[in-house]
Structure 1
Amino acid sequence: MSTDKVQRIANEIYQNVGGPDNVDKLIHCMTRVRMTIKDPSKVDLTGLKAIDGVMGVVEDDTLQVVVGPGTVNKVAQAMVDQVGVELGEPFPASASATSTATDQDLVNQKAAEVKAAQKAKQKQTPIKRALKSISNIFIPLIPVFVGAGLIGGIAAVLSNMMVAGQIGNNWSELIMVLNVIKNGVFAYLVIYVGINSAQEFGATPGLGGVIGAVTLLNGVTPKTPLHNIFTGQDLVAGQGGILGVIFAVWVLALVEKRLHKWIPDSIDIIITPTLTLLSIGLFTIFIVMPIAGVISDGLVGAISWILNVGGAFSGFALGALFLPMVMFGLHQILTPIHIEMINKTGMTPLLPILAMAGAGQVGAALALWIRCRRNKQLTNLIKGALPVGFLGIGEPLIYGVTLPLGKPFITACIGGGIGGAIIGGLGNIGSIAIGPSGLALVPLINNGQWLGYVFGLLGGYAGGFVATYFFGIPKDAISDEEPKAAPVATDNAVDFNAAPADNVALSENTIYAPVKGQVVPIKSVSDEMMATEVMGKSMAIVPDKTSAIYAPISGKITFIADTGHAIGFTSDQGEEVMIHIGIDTVNLAGKPFQINVAVDDHVTHGQTIGQVDWQRIIAAGLDPVTITIVTNSPQFAIEKQTLNQATTFNTALMTLKPNLA
């Protein structure tokens, strides 16, 4: 591309995003210029999309302008060169901005990021957006819950042993220290939640933390209590709990943003936080705490009543329905409920029951392994997914094995229900912290009830196995024969570590799968630009746990992203192909990827060109789906060869013929 065209695209992008002064920083991935926008209202989306050379626009945490591989790095570099910064560095403040506006700009920047994220989800319902926000608040805290919970569990075990006389009183100080560490999380959890809530809703994090601390009623004593204005009873520290803090901080964010607009810049930094804290502090103490306290008590009481009265029946229903809840994103509301139950009762009886859903998946996978042992593609998927499935990481089994096959997903849910029925029937089995499931949850089970939890796991394994073995095996999954629509040999008796050219006769105009996994419809991909095939005809694969990346064609490597998440090829026949590993994985700075080839290297179809740590991608909350794109699609007549099929390096995705029209 000529220098003039690159500069023109860079200039026109700036013109339609409100100029360089409206950009906080800029990076790029293999196809997109990604900008953090200060004020989204200044962005002309219609104008951006109309720029000659722009293929599409995506609104997310960053504004993403799709200009294509090979072009994006030149355009992005031209844009930062105009400003005088490096890629990823903060843009300098406008020369016309006053010094008093700097602090407000920092707040507006965060608010703009949240607003952009909200706009990107316009197609979702308000309920789904609320659930996503709740998830964003608690995900950063999950490692803390796990660590502190395990430490608290160790302290509880030692304390019980000391009471029983199995160890001496000289352990008491160690027990005290362990509890101090545990309480550093749970005693002040509302503060952490307040900070994270403020970040999620676009408010100042410190103000959110203060509102969380307000609910602790620091300084209030039984002799000088504060009273509930509705009932006259004394307010209790922590009343209203986590749910109340989230709601109060949401209101705080609304108030703070409005005050930033009303208060003059010269006094904004003094007046806005003072008025915000005063008004929301009073609102929290006298309105939110009483009302949220009633709601929280009622919610915890209702769930406890359901489990106590329903017993095994309630356990079956919860265990069987949890995975469908996950699919619809409804499970995210459970996190604050778990925490409230831990705060009020010392444990959450919900988590062990819901963990049985993963046990049902494990049992179903074992049945599939035995009944479909001739299907090497499927059994390879199961082998990769089972170890982490036992540890409670169920996504590989769900999305790579049972859900694509249909029946096994249903029978796995039945297995989860059986495990849940055992837990619910036994009763009094809870977790003292949230985070893991499967076998990894055993150390967090309360009061030595871990054996009952293990019985539940075994029931879930057995239930999923039996239901799947007799009722959940699709006939077309038993054999290793591939559908006739895919004109390639099966991978039976193929050495996956050998160069495929030594084993398989390859088509000269075929593009093959770059990872092992399950083909899914391209329209199901969460990224709009990918789903609508803006860059060219595409196929999507949800990978299994096999880490290898394979060359999809025989040809030359034309580009490799600095972060390793995207690789471009030009085949010996002229096809230009890009593989894009995961959605938004550019944000991981290359950590999950190890690429073993270089630009201009010649590769052979099926050659291992690198490795991916899929779990690191999933743990970051990102989608690992891998897209194969023919970026010069107009030059070919392209036929997609496979859908809803497990893949190996030798699975044909697309066949191409020169477009003579």
Structure 2
Amino acid sequence: MNYKDLAAKILKAVGGDENVEHLEHCSTRLRFSLIDNKKANEDELKSMPGVLGVKKNAQFQVIIGNDVVEVYTEIKKLISDKGINKESNKEKRKIGAIALDFIISVFQPLIPAIAGGGILKSFLMLFNMMGILSSTTSTYKLLMIVANAPIYFLPILVAITTANKMKANPLVAVSAVAALLTPDLTQMLGHGAKFINLPVQSITYASQVFPAILCVLCYSQLEKFFNKISPKVIRSFFVPMMSLLIVFPITLLVLGPIGFTFGIYFAKVIMFIFAKFGWIAVAVLAAFLPFMVVTGMHKAMIPYVVTSLGQTGKELIYNAASLAHNISEGGACFAVAIRAKDKKLKSTATSAGISAMFGITEPALYGVTILHKRVLYGVMIGAFSGGAYLGIKAVEAYAAVGPGIASLSMFISKTLPNNIVNAIIGLILSFVVSFIAVALLWKETSIETKEAGTVKEQFNAPVEGQLINLSEVKDQVFSSKVMGDGIAIVPSKGELYAPADGTITLVYETKHCLAMKTDNGSELMFHIGLDTVNLKGKYFDPKVSVGQHVKKGELLMNFELDNIIKEGFDPTTIVIITNRPDANLDIMEKKKVNKKDFIFAIN
């Protein structure tokens, strides 16, 4: 893959670097905060080789897969600061979307450091349990220091990500927050300290995130204010000096205690939910994670995970549910790989299944699960079963990373030796149940028959009416088959249906024409009427949108047949196979057809 070329195309399709306010990435997605989402061309992005999909909610997400880091690196080289601070051009967004965008931007970049430290810590404990490396050695203790560092210094890490999001000076922001972690301050607060006769609450700020966030939010506003009023000649030292002078005492007296209290109760609420609903909370979350991951809403759980790990050193709900879901995706994909007849689907399911087993589920979700309803059901059944077991056993996680085979050490505990055992049992249960469920539920999405050693893809009639040969169509472009082979129907009813399962790839602006790609790879174009482009959308009412997956017999469009005829247009509807010029079509004899009738097949 040419990462540089793909990066340039993606950047252009999202509206150019001047439309990018902020960019980050997770394990599979580029996460853009765009100034104006309307400037992004979703259709163009979805059609790019190397792009698995596009999702738009709080952020504009371009799903890349395992090559996301390389593509992100190339895009960062192309981005300037043209889009920064152009508030006048910024698209108005709902407060919920703004809040979620902020949460993801602040917490998502923390995951690699927290995950790296957590997994290193779990491996050290494993080596100690196996007698490979004793916990009494200086080597073990030194490595444990670096493993614990990301959690201990969470306030500093959060200060960096928050400052980057707020476009504030990250080094000054870190200085303000780092002051909260200094040994001298800790000692003073322990003995009782006052600032201008105002008592300062004794709080241990290590591993806390919300005091740091509030501190940097306040600092960013102070920085903007002093930049406006400060003479340029002294700005380099005056702005940070005045900002630190004000933000530090405000944090000690007000923001720190508020953030600390919020963090404590935030974690308590989640633990209350677990105590109240127990295994049900884990099982239900695991079953619904496919929908959350597809929409990107699972990122809203990151603050809870990070806070729980920072305050208690463990997490009981999300990681267990995520383990059940990830492994269920793997089990489902392997079942599809065995049961499916389509070679391309087999290949996709196999690679996606392997990826899911290692904690990366987007290839499985976008390549298999959401395209096949029965697979989705199987994944939900497997995830619920595994999640229920993990919830009943109260399996604890000690790192923030996508759970999978390679990261199972995140469940190793010194005090709970059965924790990792239960995690493995939950993994196996999720895989087996999902695999069996999909194997039993699976049904090929398109009807395939074998005749004389060849496999045929069959299609039903897209409209009701009189079936005619394409050569009879009163338009030379279609009748001469320049655009491809196909069939034509003189409609008796103004409804267009999907002749097979597939995904809508195009809806023309004038609405008289749309296209779809079947699950078996055939690309079909539907053209309602001759020269009806001149109606400019009048009398046509599409019921689908680009990217939507449809089932055979599903309504694609309503069209006012009588009015089209009254306007003097021939209503003959044409179906062209645009990507298989060498295919042999078997077309049934002319007769009246409806959407339940098989009318043609392609080898």
Q: Conserved in 2, the CA contact under 8 Å of 1:239 and 1:293?
A: no
**How far apart are residue 127 of structure 1 and its match?**
2.0
Matched, 1:179 2:149: no
Matched, 1:438 2:404: yes
Counterpart for residue 286 of structure 1: 253
**How far apart are residue 139 of structure 1 and its match?**
3.5
Q: Conserved in 1, the CA contact under 8 Å of 2:111 and 2:401?
A: yes
Choose 1 or 2 for highest CA Rg: 2
C-alpha RMSD over aligned residues: 4.8
Q: Please give the alpha-carbon distance, in whole angstroms, between the structure 2 residues aligned to 1:316 and 1:362.
A: 17
| Secondary structure at the counterpart of residue 192 of structure 2 | coil
Taking the TM superposition and a 5 Å limit, the aligned residue runs for 1:190-201 are 190-201=155-166
Counterpart for residue 359 of structure 1: 327
**How far apart are residue 483 of structure 1 and its match?**
5.5
Q: Conserved in 1, the CA contact under 8 Å of 2:168 and 2:220?
A: yes
What TM-score does the superposition give when structure 1 sets the normalisation length? 0.56
Matched, 1:382 2:349: yes
User: How many corresponding residue pairs?
Assistant: 438
1:244 alignment partner, one of 197, 211, 214: 211
**How far apart are residue 152 of structure 1 and its match?**
1.3
Counterpart for residue 569 of structure 1: none
| Secondary structure at the counterpart of residue 110 of structure 2 | helix
**How far apart are residue 651 of structure 1 and its match?**
10
**How far apart are residue 410 of structure 1 and its match?**
3.4
**How far apart are residue 520 of structure 1 and its match?**
4.7
Counterpart for residue 431 of structure 2: 461
2:105 alignment partner, one of 136, 141, 164: 136
| Secondary structure at the counterpart of residue 392 of structure 1 | coil
Q: Please give the alpha-carbon distance, in whole angstroms, between the structure 1 residues aligned to 2:582 and 2:102.
A: 41
Which amino acid in 1 is paired with 2:386? G
Q: Please give the alpha-carbon distance, in whole angstroms, between the structure 1 residues aligned to 2:88 and 2:583.
A: 39
2:292 alignment partner, one of 325, 343, 347: 325
Q: Please give the alpha-carbon distance, in whole angstroms, between the structure 2 residues aligned to 1:228 and 1:357.
A: 51
Counterpart for residue 269 of structure 2: 302
**How far apart are residue 30 of structure 1 and its match?**
9.3
Q: Please give the alpha-carbon distance, in whole angstroms, between the structure 2 residues aligned to 1:182 and 1:118.
A: 44
**How far apart are residue 426 of structure 1 and its match?**
0.6
Counterpart for residue 422 of structure 2: 452
* Deviations 1:478-534, CA, capped at 9 Å, x for gaps: 7485453899xxxxxxxxxxxxxxxxxxx86469xxxxxx975458xxxxxxx9999
* Deviations 1:24-53, CA, capped at 9 Å, x for gaps: xxx96599498655999xxxxxxxxxxxxx
Taking the TM superposition and a 5 Å limit, the aligned residue runs for 1:218-237 are 218-220=183-185, 221=187, 223-226=190-193, 234-237=201-204
Q: Conserved in 1, the CA contact under 8 Å of 2:446 and 2:457?
A: no
| Secondary structure at the counterpart of residue 355 of structure 1 | helix
**How far apart are residue 323 of structure 1 and its match?**
2.5
Which amino acid in 1 is paired with 2:105? N
Q: Please give the alpha-carbon distance, in whole angstroms, between the structure 1 residues aligned to 2:405 and 2:139.
A: 27
* Deviations 1:74-128, CA, capped at 9 Å, x for gaps: xxxxxxxxxxxxxx9999xxxxxxxxxxxxxxxxx86x64545996664x53323
**How far apart are residue 356 of structure 1 and its match?**
1.3
Which amino acid in 2 is paired with 1:310? F
**Residue 435 to residue 264, structure 1, CA distance change in 2 (3 Å):** same
Q: Please give the alpha-carbon distance, in whole angstroms, between the structure 1 residues aligned to 2:514 and 2:86.
A: 27
| Secondary structure at the counterpart of residue 368 of structure 2 | helix
* Deviations 1:434-478, CA, capped at 9 Å, x for gaps: 1222212202113142221111112212332344344x4356357
**Residue 169 to residue 266, structure 1, CA distance change in 2 (3 Å):** closer
Matched, 1:313 2:285: no
Counterpart for residue 123 of structure 2: 154
Matched, 1:417 2:387: no
Identity of aligned residues (%): 19
**Residue 261 to residue 423, structure 1, CA distance change in 2 (3 Å):** same
Unaligned runs of 5+ residues in structure 2 are: 1-6, 22-33, 45-75, 450-455, 463-480, 486-500, 524-546, 549-572, 585-603
Which amino acid in 2 is paired with 1:379? K
**How far apart are residue 192 of structure 1 and its match?**
1.8
Matched, 1:274 2:241: yes
Counterpart for residue 371 of structure 2: 404
Counterpart for residue 94 of structure 1: none
* Deviations 1:349-380, CA, capped at 9 Å, x for gaps: 2312222112222232233334x432334323
**How far apart are residue 260 of structure 1 and its match?**
1.9
Q: Please give the alpha-carbon distance, in whole angstroms, between the structure 1 residues aligned to 2:218 and 2:122.
A: 36
Counterpart for residue 336 of structure 1: 303
**Residue 185 to residue 240, structure 1, CA distance change in 2 (3 Å):** closer
Which amino acid in 2 is paired with 1:128? A
Q: Conserved in 1, the CA contact under 8 Å of 2:159 and 2:212?
A: yes
Counterpart for residue 345 of structure 1: 312
Q: Please give the alpha-carbon distance, in whole angstroms, between the structure 2 residues aligned to 1:265 and 1:469.
A: 70
| Secondary structure at the counterpart of residue 209 of structure 2 | helix
Q: Please give the alpha-carbon distance, in whole angstroms, between the structure 2 residues aligned to 1:333 and 1:293.
A: 20
386-395 or 434-443: bigger deviation: 434-443
Q: Please give the alpha-carbon distance, in whole angstroms, between the structure 2 residues aligned to 1:418 and 1:650.
A: 47
| Secondary structure at the counterpart of residue 484 of structure 1 | strand
**How far apart are residue 393 of structure 1 and its match?**
0.9
Q: Please give the alpha-carbon distance, in whole angstroms, between the structure 1 residues aligned to 2:166 and 2:577.
A: 43
Q: Please give the alpha-carbon distance, in whole angstroms, between the structure 2 residues aligned to 1:248 and 1:320.
A: 38
Counterpart for residue 559 of structure 2: none
Q: Conserved in 1, the CA contact under 8 Å of 2:115 and 2:399?
A: yes
Unaligned runs of 5+ residues in structure 1 are: 1-26, 41-57, 69-87, 92-108, 488-506, 512-517, 524-530, 545-549, 553-623, 626-637, 653-661
Q: Conserved in 1, the CA contact under 8 Å of 2:503 and 2:518?
A: yes
Counterpart for residue 4 of structure 2: none
Q: Please give the alpha-carbon distance, in whole angstroms, between the structure 2 residues aligned to 1:283 and 1:641.
A: 69
Q: Please give the alpha-carbon distance, in whole angstroms, between the structure 2 residues aligned to 1:540 and 1:262.
A: 58
**Residue 640 to residue 286, structure 1, CA distance change in 2 (3 Å):** farther
Q: Please give the alpha-carbon distance, in whole angstroms, between the structure 2 residues aligned to 1:195 and 1:430.
A: 29
